[in-house]
Amino acid sequence: MLYDINAPLPALRRDIRLTASPDGNMLYMSDAMSYAENMLTIPANALHALEMFDGHNSAFALESFFRERYAINIPASDIVEFASILDREGYLCSASFELRRREFEEKYNRETVRRNVCAGGAYPAEPEELRSFLQNIMQSADNSDIETGATGIIAPHIDLNVGGVSYAPAYHAIKDTDADLFVIYATSHYADYDLVIPTDKDFETPLGLVKTDRDLLEKIRARLPFELTRNDMAHRPEHSIELELIFLQYLFPKREFTILPLLVTSFGHYRDFPRHDEKVRLIAESVRETVKESSRKAIYISSGDLAHIGRKFGDNFDAEEKLSELAQVDAKLLDRLAVCDRDGFFAQIASCNDIWKVCGTSPNYMMLETLRPKRGSVLSYDQWSEKETRSAVTFSSLSYHS
């Protein structure tokens, strides 16, 4: 579509991702929700132009802005052509995008199975190769002093190719369980349209189908005085639950267990302890009481990493120079988690305005608020430094006993 140079151009979608190339000269534009199928590569200095796509500025206004502010001559016709490419690819808030989004979501809503998105990337796609891969991970941990019989764990969701060893201790802690239900609170990386986002879809991995407990999920909904969203689009691109499921399938290949898959969005807006919010309190209570009344043997899992720092994550510094300091910061967080102090954990993150970008804040808190374990143990801690992007992620695993 070509736009009138004097008419306001559609706004750039707020949920797209912009990632700088390692040399900083280019920007990669992508859409985690996959409404836009193709990644676009644009010069880094085009960021100023993207910022002007706010739904109010015309191509002529952008031409004037760049000429007056930067002494750069970009004809309005070129800007219109650029906008047309963005629109055609699905990156603008336009009528054509709304049609694309509606068709996409209608198709997804008709499906009863959430297909895997990590197979062939974060882990092998072939079943036997995957079993061998997971076996090597589980054998990588010294489990001689890991207490089994845990009723809850915190596990990472980092790419298994770089952080797989940290998953093993958490799953050793529950490997002897006879549980037939796994309640999974996990980070929602791509959507934030409700506090908790469940899905009633089953999950497919190379190791088979994991069934969602639709009956329990409906009972949880029925206990709440408000509607829990039925829009489960956030699950489609999300990896944080899928990466836990393959371990459960590996450990219990013949067991008919079910899951409660619950994505949790950011707690960044809370200025008080989240448990003081009625929605947090009631969701945790509803999950806890519904599971208890079901007489099911349940294990609670939180899927969440720790810090995300460096150029890749929007910082103006290289991650390497901060890793020693970050280890000390993380140690304090893990100390609070180990003593089941969800408020202390949250307070430390909130006190620095989450400058370290801890993605496990909300699922860790919700898991502890729901399970309310008596004691915990830190099982592992690690850092992954990505030299190419001068960035790093930290992660850990913990076990809990009730």
Per-residue model confidence as pLDDT tens digits over 76-108: 999 999 999 999 999 999 999 999 999 999 999
Helices (H) and strands (E) in the chain, counts: 13, 14
Query: In this predicted model, what pLDDT tens digit does every residue of 178-237 receive, in sequence order?
Result: 999 999 999 999 999 999 999 999 999 999 999 999 999 999 999 999 999 999 999 999
Check pLDDT > 70 for residue 307: yes
Q: Do 297 and 180 contact (CB within 8 A), yes or no? A: yes
> Cα–Cα distance between 275 and 132 in angstroms, integer?
41
Please name the residues in contact with 154: beta carbons below 8 A apart, sequence gap of 6 or more: 170, 301, 302, 304, 337, 360, 364, 367, 396, 397, 398, 400
Rounded percentage of the chain residues whose pLDDT exceeds 70: 100
Q: Residues 396, 381: contact at Cβ < 8 Å?
A: yes
- Domains of the chain, CATH where assigned: 17-107 (3.90.930), 117-401 (3.40.830.10)
How far apart (Å, rounded) are the C-alpha atoms in residues 84 and 282?
A: 46
Instruction: Tell me how long the chain is.
Output: 402
Task: State pTM to two decimals.
Answer: 0.91
pLDDT band at residue 23 using 50, 70 and 90 as cut-offs: confident
Interacting residues of 294 by C-beta distance below 8 A, sequence separation 6+? 181, 216, 219
- pLDDT above 90 (res 314): no
